[in-house]
Amino acid sequence: MISQRAKYALRALNVLARATPGEPVQIPDIAEQQRIPKKFLEQILLELKRAGIVESRRGKQGGYLLLRAATDVTYGEVLRLIDGPVAPLPCLSLSAYRRCEDCAGEQDCEVRHVFSRVADETRAVLFSTSLADAVSTRHPELA
């Protein structure tokens, strides 16, 4: 299950992906449209800015916009940034591997074998689905 923070980050990024390229979207507009608490959204957008996914512009017509093309930002990248490893078990993490303390051996672990397939399929979907894919009306299964 993804965190509320990750869900809000993805929803905010989807708003930016739908926006006119080069035109910033203000935090109050994103917050109202997506029903995200404004202060929480500010923190999330700062984290996304530090990661090089969004940029901010100051001033009356300022706001946030995608720093990279919507086709170049994947759901997997955002989830990993916000929630950490994209794996159901620590022994299946690609970015933060840890051996399970209660496991006699990974080769013989039936639980690991099943969840390995789950992790592989999940990563395949998340890292091949961009913001552009998600906001496309041609992909209702991704909405």
CATH number, residue 34:
1.10.10.10
30: tokens are: 């994103």
130: tokens are: 């961009």
Do 8 and 62 share a domain, yes or no?
Answer: yes
The mean predicted confidence, pLDDT, of the chain is 90
Do 8 and 60 share a domain, yes or no?
Answer: yes
Question: Residue 73 domain-assigned?
Answer: no
Question: Residue 81 domain-assigned?
Answer: no
H helices of 1-143, in order, are 4-18, 27-34, 38-50, 75-83, 110-126, 131-135
143: pLDDT confidence band, cut at 50, 70 and 90?
A: very low
Do 12 and 61 share a domain, yes or no?
Answer: yes
Question: Residue 91 domain-assigned?
Answer: yes
Question: Residue 75 domain-assigned?
Answer: no
Q: How far apart are CA 102 and CA 31, in angstroms?
A: 43
State which of 33, 66, 99 marks the end of a domain: 66
Q: How far apart are CA 35 and CA 7, in angstroms?
A: 12
Containing structural domain, residue 53:
4-66
Which pLDDT does position 97 carry in this prediction?
86
Question: Residue 79 domain-assigned?
Answer: no
Q: Is the confidence at residue 38, as pLDDT, over 50? A: yes
Q: Is 25 helix (H, G, I), strand (E, B) or coil?
A: strand
Of 1, 6, 4, whose CA–CA distance to 74 is shortest?
Answer: 6
Question: Residue 100 domain-assigned?
Answer: yes
Look at 21-25, 32-36, 110-114, 138-142 and tell me which has the smallest mean pLDDT: 138-142
Which pLDDT does position 67 carry in this prediction?
95
pTM for the model: 0.85
Q: Based on the structure, what is the number of domains in the chain?
A: 2
Do 58 and 15 share a domain, yes or no?
Answer: yes
By CB atoms closer than 10 A (0-12, 13-18, 19+), residue 70 is buried
Question: Residue 71 domain-assigned?
Answer: no
Q: Is the confidence at residue 63, as pLDDT, over 80? A: yes
Q: Is the confidence at residue 80, as pLDDT, over 50? A: yes
Q: Is the confidence at residue 140, as pLDDT, over 70? A: no
Question: Residue 134 domain-assigned?
Answer: yes
Do 90 and 59 share a domain, yes or no?
Answer: no
